[in-house]
Amino acid sequence: MPSVNPIDASFIQSLKEILPPDRVLTSAEDIVPYSFDGTAALKQRPGAVVFPLTAEEVSECVKLARKNNVAVVTRGSGTGLSGGSVPLSGCLVICLVKMDKLIEVDEKNLTLRAQSGVITKEIDDAAAKVGLFYPPDPGSMKISTIGGNVAENSGGLRGLKYGVTRDYVMGIEVVLPDGTLTFLGNKCVKDVAGYSMKDLFIGSEGTLGIITEVILKVLPRPTARKTMLALYDSMDAAAKTISAIIAAKIIPCTLEFLDRVTVQCVEDYAKIGLPTDVEALVLMETDGHPVVVEEEAAQMMALATANGARAVVAAADEAEGARLAAARRNAFSALARVRPTTILEDVTVPRSELATMVAFIDSVAKKHKLQIGTFGHLGDGNLHPTFLTNERDLEEMHRIEIALEEIVDETIRLGGTVTGEHGVGLAKKAFLKRQLGEGSYELMRSIKQALDPQGLLNPGKIFDPRN
Amino acid sequence: MPSANLLKSLDYSVLQQCMHCGMCLPTCPTYVETKMERNSPRGRISLMRAVADGELEVTKALSDEMYYCLGCLACQTACPAGVNYAELFETARAEVEQAQVNDGMQRGFWRWLSLNVIFMRPWLLRLIGRGLRVYQSTGLEKLMRKVHFFGLMPRSLAALEPQTPQISPQFSDDIIWPEESPQAGRKYRVGLLTGCIQDLAFSNINRDTADVLLANGCEVITPRSQSCCGSLHAHNGELELARELARRQIDSFDLDELDAIITNAGGCGSHLKTYGHLLHEDPFYAAKAQMWDKKVKDIHEWLVQIRFRKPTAGAGVSEVTYHESCHLCHGQKVVSQPRQILNSIPGLVFKELPESNWCCGSAGIYNITQPEQSQKLLDRKVANLRQAGAPVVATSNPGCHLQIANGLRACGDHPCHEVTQPVTLLAQAYRAESPALTHS
């Protein structure tokens, strides 16, 4: 890895010439809380944390870092689950949470423009005020920043019908590794002027540039929604239902599932009256025009019953819908309480392989005597096997490592991906080449090399740079 | 360091339970104000963990941070992993007090006077209360304000003077008998906690509490001259004093003879329910404290649990909104019950308050220790009350009650002009049915 310099006193002095001192943090009490993000068991103390308010300030900081060969890690609210914003020891953290201006909601063009530090939920709230809708809803949307979502290409519960963050980004303002400030994309639905450069930065995890502003596509808000819950004695039956629903030309907005372990944990924790002997619990939602929603909901329930659901219920109204959704909403909380350390994984397989994959994870858990609860998105094959453990139990942590290797190999064998929505960061780095193969792995490294020859932006994330 | 590192001796799994997901951030009033991680629950826990791991010294800056925290526990409601922030925060404050990084002569004196002297001695607290009452009722207070006497005091103290609570003419012991029985059949026997500030400033609310209990078939036992519950001490790093006060409380009730022990102050209730943990190493009190925890019930919680009787008359109020005491909703998870009580009163329209569970800035003695941040939160609350538009706001904690009343008074033209409590409105409704029904 090309060597970088840790921050020193003269560098801090120069930072304070760019930004007022209250936006440059260096004391231990101030920066220890920036040593980690939302990923378990990863931490490194940075050298300083700065809070720019404008893209120009970001650019100045990057130029200074470049001059001094200091590594830069960009961060929003630090909720990432793959270690993407975990600092390098002694590096500069550029935290964008104070760049939080929502600039414009354009009802004529159905776009929304915001600085990177705006909270995802505030984006959708602003859209909702005028009857519009920003669909990507990552689990952390109440605090995650839109810049972080774009940099990680975040997903959410509505992937099957509405896609992911990438599908809503029309333009980005970005600071390149040499400090150049540029805008990629625009409000045009059609635009074929040159390479689609914005797409290169979406999901680049802070390794190619720093996104400072975004133009997002928004949709008319669906006027109706219906929530249903189905219980199954086998995962296969649940998977068959999903295939049948899609074969019937219905694209539900939500198709979420919980496996047996997760259902048991939810019932232990939230006591909502779920039977604990089911193999799968499936939460289904359809949204859109009220008439269509009613029709689709009835069809989905019939298909669930026809494909072997033990029980199917539909919510009469929004409040009851929320009660049905409680099982899914509580899934992660319920799992997180069981043991001190919770490791949330993110393997994804083609939808048709989902039942096979869930059964495989179950067998791995038994083989290595581990507690793994699996829940996730049935509609898009994105699974979240969740390891319940204690990071201080090194022997168990070792067994988890082996189990994870096996799960990753099976995922790749089934034509899947090591990460559906959390990103590679540090957590999935070791598996990337195995999935991509030599050609595309090296292509990625070439792009990194071309844009950031000094290797200063989020070094060591996704992959190690070439020497 | 003078003695063992308290954070190090804490069960490490409590610290480890935080998976730093960040879900607490948007619910934390101090983080939302500054957007700095150290001002968030996740950030503070990482600092505590760094101290426990020996990676960080206990410094003045660390102490400042622990006291910048409101202790509102909104983070506990948001936390997916069930982190016991209350325990962490109390341990961290005890740690910084033990390390004496924060000592100034003046701070030390006021802490000693209030925590070690006044709030440990119920008779002294009430004596001071009586003195204050004389001062307020003889017109001396008005005179002092008129001659700008408080201009002579240090500015920080002078700013607090108008916040002095109005002392009740009579305290709880004067208006509640040690034992009162319901007129109709007795179904339960309960103990009543009268509190300390509650007793001085809101003894009428204690009376109202006794009345609604009586109206619902509860015999009410009210020990004389009750002590502070110790929440003030526990939240300010004086765990030993808190233990002493917990033992006293437990001793003042005959637990075996009571179905429940009723508290009507959100802040006290939240602490009163943790005696089991506080005294878990005490060989004599550990078991009693566990039984105590099971019997302590917030008044609203208890009323709903025993299916309280819906009043048939109104409370003389047309519209009401409700501010949630942090330690009632986040600390005790009592959320729907006060609303059920308000909704049960005939002719009373209940309007939700935007951000009803956002701290009002009172937070124990936070309005004294951190007046600036406290004022910002009060301004936010007052603005939300304006939006709610109800003429009356109900709450259920003396600190919130005083803070909001001060905020509304300072406003002048606010549409909301009265602060009351759900039990008071319920008691008024029962009394309106037939004035003779409730008293024995």
A388 found inside a domain: yes
A433 found inside a domain: no
Same domain, B325 and B423: yes
Q: Which pLDDT does position B166 carry in this prediction?
A: 81
Alpha carbon distance B101, B90 (integer Å): 16
Last residue of a domain, which of B49, B67, B99? Answer: B99
Are the Cβ atoms of A78 and B20 closer than 8 angstroms?
yes
Nearest to A35 among B26, B40, B46 (CB): B46
Distance from CA of B335 to the nearest CA of A (A): 16
Q: How many structural domains compose chain A?
A: 3
Chain B residues with CB under 8 Å of A50 CB are none
Q: Which pLDDT does position A111 carry in this prediction?
A: 98
Which residues in A431-467 are b (16+ Cβ under 10 Å) and which e? bbeebbeeeebeebeeebeebbebbbbbbbbbbebee
Model confidence at B368: pLDDT above 90: no
Q: For residue A70, what is the DSSP state?
A: B
Last residue of a domain, which of B248, B279, B305? Answer: B305
Condensed to tens digits (0 to 9), the pLDDT of residues B231-290 reads: 989 888 889 999 999 999 999 999 999 999 999 999 999 999 999 999 999 999 999 999
CATH number at residue A407: 3.40.462.40
Same domain, A338 and A364: yes
Alpha carbon distance A245, A379 (integer Å): 10
Average pLDDT rounded to a whole number, residues B317-327: 97
How many secondary structure helices (H) and strands (E) does chain B include?
26, 9
Are the Cβ atoms of A336 and B19 closer than 8 angstroms?
yes
Average pLDDT rounded to a whole number, residues B167-172: 86
Alpha carbon distance A127, A129 (integer Å): 5
Helices (H), B283-420: 286-295, 299-305, 326, 336-343, 366-369, 371-388, 398-411
Same domain, B228 and B253: yes
Same domain, A121 and A30: no
A346 found inside a domain: yes
Q: How many structural domains compose chain B?
A: 4
Last residue of a domain, which of B163, B191, B212? Answer: B163
Same domain, B67 and B121: no
Domain that residue B372 falls in:
319-433
Model confidence at B439: pLDDT above 60: no
A427 found inside a domain: no
Q: Which pLDDT does position B435 carry in this prediction?
A: 58
Residue that has been written with the tokens 């409700």 in this structure: B322
Model confidence at B137: pLDDT above 80: no
Same domain, B116 and B222: no
Same domain, B207 and B298: yes
Distance from CA of A101 to the nearest CA of B (A): 14
Q: Which pLDDT does position A398 carry in this prediction?
A: 95
Distance from CA of A142 to the nearest CA of B (A): 7
A4 found inside a domain: no
Confidence of residue B436 (pLDDT cuts 50, 70, 90): low
Same domain, B182 and B290: yes
Same domain, B131 and B203: no
CATH number at residue B417: 3.40.50
* CB pairs < 8 Å spanning A and B: 83
Same domain, B155 and B176: no
Are the Cβ atoms of A341 and B16 closer than 8 angstroms?
yes
Chain B residues with CB under 8 Å of A341 CB are 16, 19
Top pLDDT among A41 and B321 is at B321
Mean pLDDT over all residues of chain B?
89
Same domain, A236 and A314: yes
Distance from CA of A448 to the nearest CA of B (A): 29
Same domain, A37 and A20: yes
B289 found inside a domain: yes
Tokens representing A85 are 């914003």
Which regions in chain A score pLDDT beneath 70? 1-2, 467
Domain that residue A66 falls in:
9-97
A452 found inside a domain: no
Nearest to B26 among A98, A143, A340 (CB): A143
Same domain, B94 and B109: no
Are the Cβ atoms of B81 and A333 closer than 8 angstroms?
yes
Phi and psi at residue A78, in whole multiples of 5°? 65, 50
Are the Cβ atoms of A35 and B35 closer than 8 angstroms?
no
CATH number at residue A16: 3.30.43.10
Last residue of a domain, which of A220, A239, A268? Answer: A220
B358 found inside a domain: yes
Q: Which pLDDT does position B130 carry in this prediction?
A: 80
CATH number at residue B86: 1.10.1060.10
Are the Cβ atoms of B37 and A34 closer than 8 angstroms?
yes
Q: Which pLDDT does position B2 carry in this prediction?
A: 43
- ipTM of the prediction: 0.94
Cβ of A116 under 8 Å from any chain B Cβ? no
Same domain, A63 and A175: no
Same domain, A269 and A293: yes
Cβ of A432 under 8 Å from any chain B Cβ? no
Same domain, B180 and B155: no
Q: A29, A36, A392: which to substitute to probe chain B, counting the most B Cβ within 10 Å?
A: A29
Tokens representing B70 are 């409101």
Tokens representing B28 are 């934390």
Are the Cβ atoms of A32 and B56 closer than 8 angstroms?
yes
Cβ of A21 under 8 Å from any chain B Cβ? no
Model confidence at B115: pLDDT above 90: no
Same domain, A404 and A283: yes
Q: Look at the pTM and tell me if it is higher than 0.90.
A: yes
Q: Which pLDDT does position A76 carry in this prediction?
A: 97
Q: B21, B38, B57: which to substitute to probe chain A, counting the most A Cβ within 10 Å?
A: B21
Same domain, A343 and A287: yes
- CB-based contacts of B344-347 (< 8 A; 24+ apart in sequence): B344/B308, B344/B310, B344/B311, B344/B426, B345/B311, B345/B314, B345/B315, B345/B425, B345/B426, B345/B429, B346/B311, B346/B312, B346/B313, B346/B314, B346/B429, B347/B314, B347/B315, B347/B318
Same domain, B136 and B192: no
Same domain, A240 and A177: no
A348 found inside a domain: yes
Same domain, B93 and B177: no
Burial of A177 per CB tally in 10 Å (0-12, 13-18, 19+): buried
Same domain, A59 and A130: no
CATH number at residue B182: 1.20.1050
Model confidence at B6: pLDDT above 80: no
Same domain, A245 and A392: yes
**A460 backbone φψ class: left, alpha, beta (φ>0; ψ -120 to 50):** left
Confidence of residue B1 (pLDDT cuts 50, 70, 90): very low
Same domain, A160 and A231: no
Alpha carbon distance A320, A327 (integer Å): 12
A423 found inside a domain: no
